[in-house]
Every structure is written in C-alpha cells, then in structure tokens.
Amino acid sequence: MDDLIKVFNLPSPIQSFRFDEFPDREILVKRDDLIHPTISGNKWRKLKYNIKYALDESYEGILSFGGAFSNHLYATAAACELSGLKCKAYVRGDGFDTNNPTLQFLKQKGAELTFLDRSTYRRKSEPDFISNLERQFPRYLIIPEGGSNDRALQGVTEMMQEIYEQTDIDNLMVISGVGSGSTITGITKGLRARDKAIGVLAVKDTSLPAKINKHLLAAEQNKLYLDLDSHLGGFGKTTRELLEFINIFYAQTSIPLEPLYTGKVFLRLLDMLKDGAIGESKTILVIHTGGLQGNLGYDFRFPGRLSDGLLLAASCS
C-alpha cells in the first residue's frame, strides 16, 4: 500500500482565485483533481482505505456499482489495476457502447463489466441482492455505489487533517458538492471547533440530510449547512447558465470544472457571495472533488457545449 500511495500527488495543492465579480475576495481551492491523472478527487479519498482493506485481507478484487459514465467506477478500475486487484463493475445500462469513453477506459483497465437494467440496478443495496453477490464472489470486497462506506469516511476525514497542516487559517468555511453524502460527512467530522461546512447537493434527494446526520454527532450537525436546492433539477441536469459559467470560469482561472458536481458548487458559491450569504470574516475553501473524466462523457452525449480547453484538461486527467 505504501508503494501505491507514492504515485499520488499528496498533499494536493491549495490555490487561490477571485471571481471577476468579487475581485477583493480571495477564495481557496483544494485541488484534489490533481491527486492523480485517473484516480483523482474525492474518489481516491474514498477508495484509499477500501483498497488497503482489500489488500490486507487478501481479497482477489473489488466489486462495485455505477452508471455508464461513473466517476467512481472509472477511479476504481484504475486503482485496482495499480494495486494488483481485479475489478468487477456492475453498470446501470443496456450493454457496452464502444463509443462511451468511460466504458472504454474500464475495459482498458481490465474491469469485468456486468450490465443491469434499471429495475435490477435499483436493488443494488438490498441485503438479499448483496448476499447473493457475496456467495458468488466471496473473494471480492463489495463497495457501494459512489464508494460510500465507513472506510470512505476515514479517508475524507483524513483530508481535513491534510488541509489543516497546509494552512493555519482560522474561521474556515469548507464547501463541497454532495452526491452520496460521504464526502461532506467526512469533511464535517474533520472540522475544527470554529469551522463550518456547506454541502451543495448535486442530486434531488430529500432523504440525504437524514442519512448524513446518522453519521454525525449533534455538535457536528450544527457545523453543517446543506443546500438542497442547487441541483438544477437533479443529478446530471444542467442549464445553459451552468455550462456558460463553467466555460468562462476555466478561461478566467484555468481551473477546470465539470457540470455534474463541481460546476454546480462554484456557481452556487458565486450566487451566495452575491446574496451576502457568507460573511467577510469567513475564509472560503472549496473542495475540488475531481470527476473531470465526466467532461468527455458529457461531450460524447452533448457535443460542442464544453470548451476545447475543458475537454483537453479532462483527457489529460
């Protein structure tokens, strides 16, 4: 495991930028998208201790779930190849599309793909479904969709320790996107006493707050604000405003974003600054959760909506 960790760019850098609309307000970005070309962002944070556990317990491989453009499956396949583990990917969809860049990558990394129709895929978390997979593949560690489990929380909480070693800024406001909920949960658990967190939901899921709070103490819950209304209609939903913002933001800052998570987070942050929702006393630190490979998938589905620079950044990541 130590040899594996050596290939990662850790600690990932913290850099600053300013929105053109707020030239006097410096904002920090934790560039977790720069951790590794293919295992970046919160995906490595969540996979780290799962990979370690699989190796320590002599598992043959890892089995997990995701959509046809899944950042999690993309990173899992790459991490398994690097660590010498096999990978079984259960993919929501009708079959292999040779033009899909994410599925192409999974194949290149040696992942074994099994496609599930939507009704079957919805059963992926049911105890009997998981038990059946455990009986079929006893030497595979099964990880939930998105990589979210207790070992994932450990890796994300560790990121906050890393941040505090990089900067001694007090009164920090940490902002991150929310999908399955484990990243913002780990961030909140790792906060110091005076610091706060904002989670911007990229999905339309009103059950997430309760799921997140199950893992947080009462004092930790008081440090977290969940923005439930900035998902733009749900996971994968975009608007012309969002895409224009992502393209302009990259041109101004050279920081690449993608439309599923990070684009929504940075756009919401700009709106919060315009509304005065974050006081001047707070130093803002945004977690760049990676996922840039998704831009290639987005361009595959909707050609011409993202700039060439963003697609180049995705292909180099």
Range from 40-44, 258-262, 263-267, 279-283 carrying the lowest mean pLDDT:
279-283
Rounded mean pLDDT, 10-37 = 97
Q: What does the pLDDT look like over 190-202, one tens digit per residue? A: 999 999 999 999 9
Residues 6+ apart with CB under 8 A from 45: 32, 152, 155, 156, 158, 159, 183, 186
Mean pLDDT of 87-112: 96
Whether residue 281 has pLDDT greater than 90: no
pLDDT at 280: 85
For residues 138-164, average pLDDT: 96
Place of tokens 């720069």: 34
Average pLDDT for 170-197: 96
Predicted model pTM: 0.96
Q: Does residue 250 register a pLDDT over 90?
A: yes
